[in-house]
């Protein structure tokens, strides 16, 4: 969807046919009402008639570009230009090509390559005057060559004339019009538009030995004929008039394989990728990219991704970790959309849950080989492996890197959370078998961030030789928060730097991240909007946070976080009656009602996310409200533009869609008050023990990473635990660059680490100490008393035993969080037939890494009626083992062991499951 400005201060939406086809009949009728298309309201039109009505009055031209390869299409187009090429139009200087081009087989040409086409409306006044004189542009009523009005008309005429070339198909041909390649002329959609030559990866290149090359440009009508010819074999009486512009030089290359290692930070919400490119990363670097500074040799290069979710396209150094299902008709060739393209699909999904969109795929690490049911935009269903979606998403990221740097990668380094390092190595190795995964040298995310800091210290020479420094790293991402500690020393040796790093996973919360903050804001918005539509208009943040007048931190310390938000939670549940969002409980209602409720959740979540970003990415924004345009924006009031406001509000016995924007202004103070308890709670959970034991003063660096840490409340909460000024941590700004650097610190550190270690600049010695487990594991004795087996946050208490009678068929274990709350039940099925006779030495040999947990004193005192369960934390995996041993006389018997993960997706908080 786009917007058109018809008069000052008034915008009207414009819709593409492809977008309308994805919408439900209900949503199409809603658009007719919203856009005041009387025909659509008065007559009970069917689906196709509704689409035609909207396209007639609010339709947006859709580019018919040849991108996806079709069998025989190239030959049909080549035959068409041989038979139907018409008049070569005189262009003068109105169309200007790049002087030189480099094309790669099996590699896309994108706007990133900056092969720009200049059209007449982009040229100066003198150039237009020259065209007016030499080409004698016919402008009715103006015959004087130097008339200012005449020149203006000439320029306007040129604009209209050459604008028809935008978003069309362009043909690369030889001297005798032999077809070499099919390309496109696209726009970036900005106010001062730039036009680029692009080509899909699928389009082939032929006739590469031709001496002279030309580009054939066509108007939209002729271009659409070429499109129909390529895909449908049309044969209509048409003459293809064209502009023919020569290329000074064209080079066609094959993609080179590089030894450079591509680093990928596979995130919960966003993914980034980077690589260090030296002068020899390939034999022939792309000169065009070097001239445009798209590639910087002997430096870290960040992969850029094109965001086309808005009217103008923007290159960004990260891509959403998001996958949508476009077409699953063919089980063997499922079409997915990734990143920003998938985000565009969410705008349709809010109004029609007829296809699958997957968030937070990173959480699938423990179940990546499991099955996942999917549904496409046409309602087709299929069952796929989760690993297939993760694989295709990562291949998409790699393909973007290969296009940007014109090389083929074979070596990958993928960071992971420290607690799940082994699981991620196993997953990446399994789903990307054709790549060399740097498993032995894989950095966890916290260490990668730290190494980025270490290299900065080395570059600035701001370290003391051999000094042992300690750092505490808090990483608050989109879905999780982790705390790691590191101790490191830097020595300048004879031939390289020697860096010793010891890391420990200290604590974490798999269910607290940026989405929690967004959801908290959503709760408040829902309560306020429900009050507004009730006609009360009197809700304030103080109504729900009774402790607003006192110290919220002390309130959390005394009563806990849930008590702080008790009234808000009650009000949120009450608001469910007015603005329902828990769509899972509407699955037994009508299809229309179900989608209205589902739309409410996704719409409010999106609005909350945008409000969060406005306050915490903007500079000095104190007040904000939602509108369709920025007409009412002022110095002290920021407008967050929403294309269309759509909330289903209960009125009487049914739901009615409301399109009127609530006249409510939100200010930064109430949002900060809303979030203060949440953020203090997570900081207190992580730092309080360090503070109480005095360990906090041991850290000279406190590093905040992850995009959620841009919120000043994190730093404010940390100051509660920092005694005076004994600890310094680097502040960060709210500029876009500062926020971006929070996310890029991890991938930059990984790329620097790989480069330094492979080039011999640094020798890095990594030691991963046993992690501190933020959970406890317990079981029930025969006396019905709960016994702790693994103690949370205690490195020494990571094992225990539990004895039961031999007749036991199942054993239940409990996982509790740091507050003692039950998170999960584990159930072990004891099979008496699975026990095998073993000697103590054989048992020790089988579990040699854990032999200190299965000691002979414990096995010697097992009696003939007893099964003893040995339970101990795994060293390399984020979980624990259960090993059952029994005896008969002097013979030991070993049962079937089991591994259980501490965290799994069965108890993860899922904000998109329809229960919120």
Report DSSP letters for 92-148, one per residue: TTS-B--SEEEEETT--B-GGG--EEB-GGGS-HHHHHHHHHHH---BTTB--TT-H
Residue 619 DSSP one-character state? S
User: Any residues with CB less than 8 A from the CB of 734 and at least 6 apart, and which?
Assistant: 616, 617, 618, 619, 710
Spans of all domains in the chain: 2-58, 73-119+165-253, 256-437, 445-512+683-768, 776-901
Q: For tokens 């869609």, name the residue.
A: 657
- Contact by Cβ (8 Å): 517, 544: no
Quote the CA–CA distance of 770 and 774 in Å, as a whole number.
Answer: 13
User: Any residues with CB less than 8 A from the CB of 892 and at least 6 apart, and which?
Assistant: 837, 838, 839, 840, 843, 859, 862, 885, 886
Q: Give me the residues paired with residue 322 across strands.
A: 359
Residue 383 DSSP one-character state? E
Listed residue (49, 50, 15) closest to 32, CA to CA: 50
Cβ burial of 538 (10 Å; 0-12, 13-18, 19+) is: exposed
Strands 469-476 and 701-705: parallel
Quote the CA–CA distance of 322 and 807 in Å, as a whole number.
Answer: 49
Helix (H) or strand (E) segment spanning residue 182: strand 179-187
For residue 524, the Cα-to-chain-centroid distance in whole angstroms is 25
Quote the CA–CA distance of 478 and 511 in Å, as a whole number.
Answer: 10
Cα separation values, 75 from 78, 229, 617, 643, Å: 5, 10, 51, 43
Three-state secondary structure string covering 834-856: HCEEECHHHHHHHCHHHHHHCCH
- Return left, alpha or beta for 724; rule: phi > 0 is left, psi -120 to 50 is alpha, else beta: left
Instruction: Based on DSSP, count helices (H) and strands (E) in the chain, helices before strands.
Output: 23, 44
- Return left, alpha or beta for 547; rule: phi > 0 is left, psi -120 to 50 is alpha, else beta: alpha
Cα separation values, 887 from 10, 733, 817, Å: 84, 65, 35
Class of domain 445-512+683-768 (CATH, top level):
alpha beta
Q: What is the CA radius of gyration of the chain?
A: 32
Quote the CA–CA distance of 778 and 755 in Å, as a whole number.
Answer: 45
Sign of the CA dihedral with 29 first, then 33, 35, and 40 last: positive
- Contact by Cβ (8 Å): 362, 368: no
User: Any residues with CB less than 8 A from the CB of 649 and at least 6 apart, and which?
Assistant: 530, 533, 578, 579, 655, 656, 657, 658
- 268: how many CB neighbours lie within 10 A of its CB? 20
- Print burial letters for 418-442: b (CB count within 10 Å at least 16), e (below 16): bbbbbbbbbbbeebbeebebbbeeb
φ and ψ at residue 807, rounded to 5 degrees: -75, 0
Quote the CA–CA distance of 565 and 569 in Å, as a whole number.
Answer: 6
Quote the CA–CA distance of 621 and 206 in Å, as a whole number.
Answer: 55
Query: How many residues in the chain?
Result: 916
Q: For tokens 């309560």, name the residue.
A: 527
Quote the CA–CA distance of 627 and 538 in Å, as a whole number.
Answer: 20
For helices 668-693 and 591-617, the axis angle rounded to 10 degrees is 70
Q: What 3-state DSSP class applies to 17? A: helix
Question: Which pair of tokens denotes residue 264?
Answer: 């990928």
pLDDT in tens, 270-326: 999 999 999 989 999 999 999 999 999 999 999 999 998 877 889 999 999 999 999
pTM over 0.85, yes/no: no
Quote the CA–CA distance of 874 and 254 in Å, as a whole number.
Answer: 47
- 68: how many CB neighbours lie within 10 A of its CB? 12
Listed residue (256, 267, 223) closest to 61, CA to CA: 223
Q: Tell me what pLDDT residue 262 has.
A: 97
- Contact by Cβ (8 Å): 149, 128: no
**Fold equal for 256-437 and 445-512+683-768:** yes
Number of Cα atoms under 13 Å in the Cβ half of residue 363? 21
Q: Tell me what pLDDT residue 145 has.
A: 40
Quote the CA–CA distance of 516 and 681 in Å, as a whole number.
Answer: 12
Helix (H) or strand (E) segment spanning residue 277: strand 270-277
User: Any residues with CB less than 8 A from the CB of 196 and at least 6 apart, and which?
Assistant: 110, 111, 113, 114, 115, 116, 117, 185, 186, 187, 188
Looking at 3.30.70.360, 3.40.50.360, 3.30.420.40, 3.20.80.10, the CATH number of the domain 256-437 comes to 3.30.420.40
Quote the CA–CA distance of 24 and 598 in Å, as a whole number.
Answer: 14
- 671: how many CB neighbours lie within 10 A of its CB? 23
Quote the CA–CA distance of 472 and 697 in Å, as a whole number.
Answer: 11
Q: Give me the residues paired with residue 634 across strands.
A: 637
Q: With DSSP H G I counted as helix, E B as strand and the rest as coil, what are the percentages for the chain, rounded to 5?
A: 35, 30, 35
Question: Which pair of tokens denotes residue 810?
Answer: 């199942």
- Contact by Cβ (8 Å): 479, 363: yes
Q: Tell me what pLDDT residue 4 has.
A: 39
Query: What is the mean pLDDT, run by run of 10 residues, along the chain of 916 residues?
Result: 39 66 69 67 66 70 85 93 88 79 94 89 46 43 38 45 84 92 90 85 86 91 92 79 91 94 92 94 93 93 92 89 92 93 76 72 88 86 94 97 97 89 91 92 87 90 89 81 88 90 84 84 93 83 71 85 90 94 88 85 88 71 69 66 82 86 85 90 87 85 76 83 55 53 86 90 84 88 90 78 91 87 90 93 92 91 93 85 94 93 67 76
- Contact by Cβ (8 Å): 705, 745: yes
Cβ burial of 765 (10 Å; 0-12, 13-18, 19+) is: exposed
Q: Tell me what pLDDT residue 111 has.
A: 94
Question: Which pair of tokens denotes residue 9?
Answer: 């201060």
Q: Tell me what pLDDT residue 602 has.
A: 85
Quote the CA–CA distance of 852 and 847 in Å, as a whole number.
Answer: 9
């Amino acid at each position: 969807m786009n917007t058109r400005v018809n008069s000052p201060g008034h915008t009207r939406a414009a819709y593409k046919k492809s977008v309308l086809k994805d919408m439900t009949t209900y949503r199409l009728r809603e658009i007719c009402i919203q856009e005041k298309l009387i025909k659509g309201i008065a007559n009970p039109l069917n689906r196709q008639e509704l689409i035609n009505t909207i396209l007639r009055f609010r339709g947006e031209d859709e580019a018919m570009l040849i991108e996806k390869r079709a069998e025989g299409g190239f030959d049909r187009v080549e035959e068409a230009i041989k038979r139907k090429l018409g008049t070569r139009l005189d262009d003068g200087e109105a169309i200007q090509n790049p002087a030189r081009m480099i094309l790669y087989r099996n590699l896309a040409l994108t706007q990133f390559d900056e092969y720009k086409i200049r059209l007449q409306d982009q040229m100066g006044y003198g150039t237009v005057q020259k065209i007016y004189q030499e080409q004698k542009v016919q402008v009715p009523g103006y015959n004087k060559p130097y008339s200012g009005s005449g020149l203006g008309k000439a320029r306007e005429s040129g604009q209209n004339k050459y604008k028809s070339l935008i978003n069309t198909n362009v043909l690369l041909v030889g001297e005798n019009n032999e077809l070499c390649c099919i390309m496109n002329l696209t726009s970036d959609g900005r106010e001062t538009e730039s036009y680029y030559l692009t080509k899909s990866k699928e389009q082939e290149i032929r006739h590469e030995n031709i001496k002279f090359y030309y580009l054939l440009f066509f108007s939209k009508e002729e271009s659409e004929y070429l499109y129909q010819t390529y895909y449908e074999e049309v044969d209509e009486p048409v003459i293809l008039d064209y502009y023919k512009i020569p290329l000074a030089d064209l080079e066609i290359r094959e993609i080179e394989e590089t030894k450079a290692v591509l680093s990928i930070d596979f995130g919960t919400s966003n993914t980034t990728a980077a690589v260090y490119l030296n002068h020899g990363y390939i034999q022939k670097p792309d000169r065009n990219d070097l001239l445009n500074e798209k590639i910087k040799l002997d430096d870290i290069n960040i992969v850029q991704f094109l965001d086309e979710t808005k009217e103008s396209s923007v290159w960004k150094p990260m891509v959403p970790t998001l996958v949508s299902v476009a077409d699953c008709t063919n089980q063997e060739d499922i079409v997915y959309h990734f990143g920003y393209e998938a985000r565009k699909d969410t705008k349709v999904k809010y109004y029609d849950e007829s296809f699958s969109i997957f968030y937070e795929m990173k959480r699938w690490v423990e179940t990546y080989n499991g099955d996942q049911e999917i549904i496409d935009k046409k309602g087709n269903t299929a069952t796929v492996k989760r690993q297939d979606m993760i694989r295709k998403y990562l291949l998409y990221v790699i393909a973007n890197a290969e296009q940007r740097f014109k090389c083929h990668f074979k070596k990958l380094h993928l960071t992971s959370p420290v607690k799940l390092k082994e699981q991620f190595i196993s997953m990446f190795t399994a789903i990307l078998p054709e790549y060399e995964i740097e498993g032995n040298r894989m950095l966890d995310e916290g260490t990668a961030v730290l190494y980025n800091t270490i290299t900065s210290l080395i570059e600035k020479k701001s370290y003391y030789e051999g000094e042992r420094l300690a750092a505490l790293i808090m990483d608050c991402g989109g879905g999780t928060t982790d705390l790691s500690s590191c101790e490191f020393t830097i020595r300048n040796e004879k031939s390289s730097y020697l860096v010793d790093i010891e890391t420990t996973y200290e604590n974490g919360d798999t269910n607290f991240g940026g989405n929690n903050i967004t959801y908290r804001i959503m709760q408040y918005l829902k309560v306020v909007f429900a009050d507004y539509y009730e006609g009360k208009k009197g809700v304030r943040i103080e109504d729900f946070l009774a402790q607003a007048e006192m110290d919220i931190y002390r309130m959390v310390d005394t009563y806990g976080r849930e008590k702080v938000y008790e009234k808000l939670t009650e009000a949120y549940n009450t608001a469910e009656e007015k603005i329902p969002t828990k769509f899972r409980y509407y699955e037994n209602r009508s299809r229309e009602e179900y989608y209205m409720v589902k739309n409410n959740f996704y719409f409010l979540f999106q609005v909350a996310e945008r409000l969060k970003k406005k306050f915490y990415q903007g500079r000095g924004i104190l007040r904000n409200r939602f509108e369709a345009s920025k007409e009412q924006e002022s110095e002290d009031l920021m407008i967050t533009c929403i294309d269309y406001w759509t909330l289903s509000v209960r009125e009487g016995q049914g739901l009615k869609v409301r399109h009127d924007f609530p006249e409510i202004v939100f200010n930064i103070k109430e949002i900060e008050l809303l979030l203060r308890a949440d953020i203090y709670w997570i900081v207190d959970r992580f730092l309080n023990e360090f503070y109480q034991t005095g360990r906090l003063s041991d850290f000279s660096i406190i590093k905040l990473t992850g995009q959620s840490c841009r919120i000043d409340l994190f730093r404010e909460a940390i100051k509660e635990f920092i005694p005076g000024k004994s600890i310094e941590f680097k502040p960060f700004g709210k500029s876009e660059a500062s926020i971006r650097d929070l996310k890029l610190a991890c991938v930059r550190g990984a790329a620097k680490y790989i480069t330094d270690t492979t080039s011999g600049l640094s020798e890095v010695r990594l030691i991963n100490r046993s992690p501190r487990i933020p959970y406890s594991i317990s079981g029930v004795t025969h006396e019905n008393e709960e016994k702790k087996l693994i103690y949370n946050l205690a490195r020494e208490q990571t094992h225990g035993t539990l004895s039961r009678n031999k007749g036991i068929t199942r054993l239940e274990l409990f996982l509790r969080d740091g507050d003692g709350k039950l998170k999960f039940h584990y159930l072990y099925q004891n099979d008496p037939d699975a026990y095998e006779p073993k000697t103590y030495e054989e048992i020790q040999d089988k579990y040699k890494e854990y032999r200190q947990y299965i000691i002979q004193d414990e096995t010697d005192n097992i009696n003939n009626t007893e099964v003893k369960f040995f339970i101990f934390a795994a060293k390399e995996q984020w979980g624990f083992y259960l090993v059952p041993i029994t005896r008969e006389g002097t013979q030991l018997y070993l049962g079937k062991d089991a591994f259980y993960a501490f965290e799994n997706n069965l108890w993860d908080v899922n904000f998109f499951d329809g229960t919120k």
